[in-house]
Homo-oligomer: A and B are copies of this chain.
Amino acid sequence: MGYKVAVVGATGAVGREMIKIIEQRNFPVSELKLLASSRSKGKEIEFRGESIKVEELNETTIKGSDVYLFSAGASISRQFAPLAAKSGVVIDNSSAFRMEPDVPLVVPEVNAEEALKHNGIIANPNCSTIQMVVALYPLHLKFKIKKIIVATYQSVSGTGQKAINELERQVRAWVSDGVPEAEVYPYPIAFNLIPRIDVVQDNLYTKEEMKMVAETRKIMRAPEILVCATCVRVPVFRCHSEAVTVEFSVYASLDEVRRVLENAPGVKVMDDPFNDIYPTPLELAHTDDVYVGRIREPLVFENGVSLWIVADNLRKGAALNAVQIAEYLHLKQAL
């Protein structure tokens, strides 16, 4: 009993996390196919105590599964997701289809039901956007958000396994008085910050920053919300963190905000700064919730709040969210 599941990009940082999460959450799998580029062909990955060989992704291997979890970059998705969608449902972690009007962009805590409207492809949002909307959507429902100003502190795992390796390599080089050479990023990331994630657009915002604008509006079905994002890479391995200042349409006391967050699905409030209780990325790596702390008056808006939001970008920001979408479809007998 179960579904034939294919993970496309199985050897990447997100792909490996997808496999782990399917196992940890006991998603009903009858067959797991692991697909990747020819470079990874033949590698073996553990799943439920067995070793599964990675197959090369091509027009033959992509056929015949019920559920496809894609995380191999936008161009692979553009090429193979339409083929996969002929036999099953594609949940795509790339940016390829996110803004297409007929592709649902889903964060289950926010708009699970959108997933049912798919035409074969469901998009998994950007990691920075997911954790932000999980925390902000329940506040939007109560207090109607007008503006969001967000500065991100994004870990290297968001770039992928090669960036994880690069930070580690640079730190080791630094310790042994070597030169921390930069390959993945334009500058060393060890002991540094890089305020440019993804390519720069005509309006001088990066694509990552504009994803936070467009995806937030689409997921929350709130095209009127204004968003200003600054996305920055930091020398952290896992978890993205965000300093978020929000303007509401109506007044909300901090107690009300806290109560809404405490009852919000997928959110954990971690907020006693007097006792050094606030979310930190190192401590929260490998967790599943979106953690919110430093809840305080925004000072620049009469109505609103300032928050510090941390979540594991590989789990809730990517793999877990994708598996949760599959779980929702399963629950609704829509697979």
Contact = CB atoms under 8 A, between A and B. Distances in A.
A163 interface: no
Among A203, A206, A306, find the residue whose CB has the most chain B CB atoms closer than 10 A: A306
A230 B308 contact: yes
B300 A195 contact: no
Given A153-B153, A243-B243, 8 more contacts: A149-B300, A153-B232, A188-B282, A191-B282, A193-B241, A195-B280, A196-B273, A234-B234
Interface of A: 147-149, 151, 153, 171-172, 174-175, 186-188, 191-196, 200, 203-206, 213, 226-228, 230, 232, 234-237, 241, 243, 245, 254, 273-274, 276, 278-283, 293-300, 306, 308
Contacts of A298: 228
Complex A-B, nearest 3 residue pairs according to Cβ-Cβ distance, in ascending order = A151-B151, A151-B243, A192-B282
Nearest to A308: B195
Contacts of A237: 191
Contacts of A294: 195-196, 204, 230
A187 B281 CA distance: 11
Contact of A147 (B203, B236, B243, B300): B300
Contacts of A193: 153, 234, 236, 241, 280-281
Nearest to A147: B300
Copies in the complex: 2
A189 to B, nearest CB: 9
9 contacts: A153-B232, A153-B234, A191-B281, A192-B236, A192-B283, A193-B236, A194-B280, A203-B297, A228-B299
Contacts of A188: 282
Contacts of A230: 151, 243, 245, 294, 306, 308
Contacts of A205: 296, 299
Given A273-B206, A294-B230, A283 B235 contact: no
Q: Pick from A171, A227, A298 the residue with the most CB of B within 10 Å.
A: A171
Contacts of A192: 236, 280-283
Nearest to A226: B300
Contact of A200 (B147, B153, B232, B273): B273
Nearest to A205: B296
Contacts of A186: 276
A294 B208 CA distance: 14
A231 B299 CA distance: 14
A227 B298 CA distance: 9
A278 B226 contact: no
A254 B297 CA distance: 30
A226 to B, nearest CB: 4
A301 B276 CA distance: 34
Contacts of A282: 187-188, 191-192
Contacts of A279: 195
Contacts of A204: 254, 273, 294-297
Contacts of A194: 280
Contacts of A308: 195, 230, 232
A284 to B, nearest CB: 10
A175 B280 CA distance: 21
